Amino acid sequence: MENHFPIRQILDKNGNVIAAEYKEKITEKLAKDFYRQMLRLRIFDRKAISLQRQGRIGTYAPFEGQEASQVGSAAALAGNDWMFPTYRDHGAAMSFGHSLRNVLLFWNGRNEGCIPPDGKRIFPPGIPIATQIPHAAGAAFAEKKKGTANAAIAYFGDGATSEGDFHEGLNFASVFKAPVVFFNQNNQYAISVPIEKQMNTKTIAQKSLAYGMPGIRIDGNDIFIVYFETLKALERARKGEGPSLIEAVTWRYGAHTTADDPSKYRDQSESRARRQETDPVLRLERWMQNQGIFDEKWVQAAEEEATAEIDHAVAEMEEFPPADPAAIFDHVFAEPTWQIKQQKEDYLKVIGGGRE
């Protein structure tokens, strides 16, 4: 079955275009926009890890290594589309226009972090694995019922395909031809479990066959194939032809979260080797060098611009008071049930705050 779903590429690891039909579609502007966004996200990710280590934000989920999958797919969306991210897809959310300050507030435990800018349909990050998949299918179906051209994208990792929500979401979307793209980032580890130990199928893309939808396996570190295939799937969805499943094969360099030690379950020398061989930023940089358009001064300016933007977002985030843990009880229901009230009272007694 793996032979039926080969990994498709536009750029090889040396930055050469190996799919001639895309040559005319790849412009200098597109490449530079993608490079700037990936650079911005990489700087943000490293800054967030540093903030966590300093105790300035809480536990954080890094995404370095997956920038092409997130930037390329988000770039294919239209302004009124829906995005349903996981806890590792804040790169996609920021590319789609989410506030950097609010993303940082999310990782600092404040409810404001779940609020996207006005006009942006970005769902709060899905923390329980795969729960956002049926939500995306439902939102897409609602857009279809309303007669709009809006679509949805649902992000999830390889571990999510072992959850019931994955199968229910794909089945619902298939039956009702909901305009949704199921975008899997297969970083090859479900927390600490390698993919071959959590599924028996050779690919995730082949699971599309069970639900009668197109499935494709792409190089998730090749931003051009990510962008063009996501765009194709969204166009199909808008035409009323139903959902698609995309498996973007990628790699996360770091830990599952900052509470994790990947050296306990993974040979970290592989991550070091992949930085030289398949890194998404380096690959695009090599393409730009091949085209004679790579400019060190332009890169330095882009880095400085991103750093200034991120530092400003950090300063804004730190103007907020620390999150109140008791707030988790306040919005479970419109009117708190007696159980919720009791739990909040018990919590306040434990911490000795006596707050209402």
Q: Active-site residue numbers?
A: 252, 256, 265
Identity of the residue numbered 246: I
Identity of the residue numbered 74: A
Listing DSSP states for 216-280 in one string gives EEEETT-HHHHHHHHHHHHHHHHTT---EEEEEE----S-SSTT--GGGTS-HHHHHHHHHHT-H
Distance CA 282, CA 276 (A): 8
* DSSP 8-state secondary structure symbol assigned to residue 22: G
Whose CA is closest to 112, among 283, 321, 332? 321
Distance CA 70, CA 13 (A): 18
Distance CA 217, CA 235 (A): 18
Q: At how many degrees (to 10) do helices 280-291 and 67-75 cross?
A: 70
Q: % helix / strand / coil in the chain, to the nearest 5?
A: 55, 10, 35
Distance CA 69, CA 91 (A): 9
CA dihedral 182, 187, 193, 199 (to 10 degrees): 50
Token pair of 52, please?
A: 């966590």
